[in-house]
Amino acid sequence: MEIPIFKCRASCGGKIMTDAKGKSNLEIYNDAVETLEKKKTQLLGFKNQECKTAVSIRTEQIPKLEKLIPELEKLKSKVKLSETTIQYLREWIIERKYGRRKEFTTKHTVKGNTTEQDGFKLIQDVVFDGKVFMSKSKSFYEDEYFTGNLDLDLPTWVLDNKSSWNIFTFPIGETEPPDKANEPQIRIYMRLAKKEKGSVCYTLNNTPLKLIEDECWKYARANNIKDIEDIPEEISYEICKNHAFTTDFMRELSFIYGTFKGDFIEIPKEKRLVKFDYVRDLEIEQKIIDRVLVCREWVNENWIKF
């Protein structure tokens, strides 16, 4: 089988741009060169060149570094990929070589998928004052390096919706994006769609009933309660309240916790959307492309191992 050309999905842009832990290959090379010079200087400072330490430096440590440095020099310009990146590339190879796709589902992703249109409606009402109808883009984009399906595709603007699990994971009051991985994603979208503006919109939407019931059952199991109807009312009320952000929806949930209470505080629409804006930057874009090229090298070098 011919090795396919690696192209990064926009949604995985953050995975390939994650930096590897520890020092870069260039830093390791520079450290070795610096250590060699220090050892040579240290050796010259010994009055007795035949003492145990001097002999060790001259016959063991310096030769070892002189042998190591040429090998490090070959790698100094090579980018070290993070474990996050490598894991993504492993899965990418397996998908294409054996036709398997890794299943990944969490309560967070289920809520994100289920409340996607709710998020679009919130963007429509808050960002566009209800004057522009928001619906999922059906456009698929692909170029030499990337592929992607956009959330919202406007004439000069791309927007991506991120539905938060609850108010505590929602970046209310934040001035910096909570997840740096979303910036490469929106920049890839801007490149693919040839748009100069991009925004990552975090939306706080009512959690679907099934997921709220799951949270109740989770509490019940942890506390040896046989049925969610037996959960103390004040506890079930707090569980529901943490996942309801409009009064109407909280009233709907009263069949779980009992009588609706007047202390529920509805969160206004404008407080349930936090938007981080980006403008297209070709220099940053090129860094992402450069990382794609490094990933291609890794794929080509490791394809046969799988």
Q: Tell me the CATH number at 129.
A: 3.90.320.10
Q: Stretch 42-56: mean pLDDT, rounded?
A: 90
Same structural domain for residues 122 and 167? yes
Output b/e per residue, 133-168; b: 16+ Cβ within 10 A: ebeebeeebeeebbbbbbbbbbeebbbbbbbbbeee
3-state secondary structure of 141: strand
Residue 11 domain-assigned (yes or no): no
Please state whether beta strands 140-142 and 8-9 pair in parallel, antiparallel, or not at all (unpaired): unpaired
The answer to whether residues 196 and 155 touch, using CB atoms and an 8 Å cutoff, is: no
Residue 260 binned pLDDT confidence (cut-offs 50, 70, 90): confident
Look at residue 263 and tell me whether its pLDDT is greater than 90: no
Name the burial class of residue 98, with classes exposed (0-12), middle (13-18) and buried (19+) by CB atoms within 10 angstroms of its CB. exposed
Same structural domain for residues 127 and 275? yes
Same structural domain for residues 190 and 116? yes
Q: For position 61, what pLDDT does the model report?
A: 94
Mean pLDDT of the chain, nearest integer: 93
C-alpha span between 146 and 153 (Å, rounded): 17
Which residues, at least 6 apart from 275, have a Cβ–Cβ distance to it below 8 Å?
Answer: 127, 199, 200, 201, 202
Q: For position 258, what pLDDT does the model report?
A: 84
Q: For position 160, what pLDDT does the model report?
A: 95
Task: Give how many domains the chain has, as a whole number.
Answer: 3
Which domain covers residue 48, as residue numbers?
21-75
Q: For position 235, what pLDDT does the model report?
A: 94
Look at residue 246 and tell me whether its pLDDT is greater than 90: yes
Q: Stretch 143-166: mean pLDDT, rounded?
A: 94
Same structural domain for residues 43 and 165? no
Counted residue by residue, the chain has a size of 306
Q: Domain end: 237, 257, 277, which one?
A: 257
Same structural domain for residues 233 and 110? no
- Would you tell me the crossing angle of helices 233-241 and 209-222 to the nearest 10 degrees? 140
Residue 280 domain-assigned (yes or no): yes
The proportion of the chain whose per-residue pLDDT surpasses 70, expressed as a percent, equals 100
Which amino acid, one-letter code, is at 295?
C
Same structural domain for residues 57 and 115? no
Residue 207 binned pLDDT confidence (cut-offs 50, 70, 90): very high
Same structural domain for residues 70 and 105? no
Q: For position 130, what pLDDT does the model report?
A: 86
User: Tens of pLDDT along 115-151?
Assistant: 999 999 999 999 999 888 888 888 899 999 999 999 9
Look at residue 25 and tell me whether its pLDDT is greater than 90: no
Q: Token pair 């010994």 is at which residue? A: 46
Which of 41-55, 193-207, 235-249 is the least confident region?
A: 41-55
Q: Stretch 238-246: mean pLDDT, rounded?
A: 95
Residue 153 domain-assigned (yes or no): yes
Look at residue 12 and tell me whether its pLDDT is greater than 90: yes
Same structural domain for residues 188 and 221? no
Q: For position 131, what pLDDT does the model report?
A: 85
The proportion of the chain whose per-residue pLDDT surpasses 90, expressed as a percent, equals 79
Q: Which residues pair with 19 in a beta bridge?
A: 81
Residue 264 domain-assigned (yes or no): no
Q: For position 138, what pLDDT does the model report?
A: 87
Residue 49 domain-assigned (yes or no): yes
Backbone angles phi, psi at 98, to 5 degrees: -125, 5
Q: For position 230, what pLDDT does the model report?
A: 92
Residue 16 domain-assigned (yes or no): no
C-alpha span between 107 and 104 (Å, rounded): 10
Same structural domain for residues 164 and 293? yes
Residue 68 binned pLDDT confidence (cut-offs 50, 70, 90): very high
Same structural domain for residues 294 and 166? yes
Which residues, at least 6 apart from 273, have a Cβ–Cβ distance to it below 8 Å?
Answer: 122, 123, 126, 127, 201, 202, 203, 204
Residue 215 domain-assigned (yes or no): yes
Same structural domain for residues 187 and 144? yes
Residue 14 domain-assigned (yes or no): no
Same structural domain for residues 38 and 160? no
Residue 76 binned pLDDT confidence (cut-offs 50, 70, 90): confident
